[in-house]
């Protein structure tokens, strides 16, 4: 079986804000595709899982701490972002564990995951990315972008969104 993350773009540099926004738009597109029961929901849920884990874990290790150090965000905002990542993993898990991808239960799981993820994207864009634009220099945003991408892409290349890996993230939250 092909690696579901193989179709996820892997840029190597750019402004961290714009790069994160690109992934946010990718999440929205993948969710639209997942809602359509004519699509390959198994491939889509695996792609979403890979991107979500790589994206979120790389933000927590490479972006949030640096934005805190530069006083663009405070500890509470970073903790809130991490909490919302954890909630995303918790609502992703039933999608990954489901056997029937075309029944009402799966549709309900899509709805819950979608609500959780879209709420997080909105808050992160307003409360973390806007201050990063205003408070962090273009050079620093480019350095953050390279660091975030290096970690995100490494995780994608290693395969990071398996049901076992997501269960482990949920267990540690």
pLDDT over 80 at 4, yes or no: no
Q: How far apart are CA 41 and CA 165, in angstroms?
A: 19
> Tokens 């970690």, residue?
151
pLDDT over 70 at 79, yes or no: yes
Predicted confidence band of residue 173 (pLDDT cuts 50, 70, 90): confident
Give CA torsion, residues 12, 14, 15, 19, to 10 deg. -60
pLDDT over 90 at 161, yes or no: yes
Both tokens assigned to 104: 């009402």
pLDDT over 60 at 1, yes or no: no
Q: Give percent of the chain with pLDDT exceeding 90.
A: 95
Q: How far apart are CA 5 and CA 23, in angstroms?
A: 13
Provide the mean pLDDT of the chain.
Answer: 95
């Amino acid at each position: 079986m092909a690696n579901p993350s193989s179709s996820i773009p892997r840029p190597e540099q750019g402004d961290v804000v714009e790069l994160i926004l690109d992934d946010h738009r990718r999440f929205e597109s993948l969710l639209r595709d997942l809602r359509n029961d004519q699509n390959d929901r198994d491939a889509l849920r695996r792609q979403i899982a890979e991107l979500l884990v790589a994206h979120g874990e790389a933000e927590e290790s490479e972006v949030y701490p640096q934005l805190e150090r530069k006083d663009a965000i405070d500890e509470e905002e970073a903790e809130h972002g991490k909490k919302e990542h954890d909630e995303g993993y918790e609502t992703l898990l039933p999608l990954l564990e489901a056997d029937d991808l075309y029944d009402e239960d799966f549709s309900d799981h899509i709805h819950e995951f979608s609500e959780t993820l879209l709420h997080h994207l909105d808050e992160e864009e307003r409360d973390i990315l806007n201050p990063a634009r205003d408070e962090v220099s273009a050079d620093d945003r480019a350095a953050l972008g390279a660091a975030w991408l290096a970690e995100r892409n490494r995780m994608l290349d290693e395969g990071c969104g398996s049901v076992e890996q997501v269960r482990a993230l949920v267990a540690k939250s």
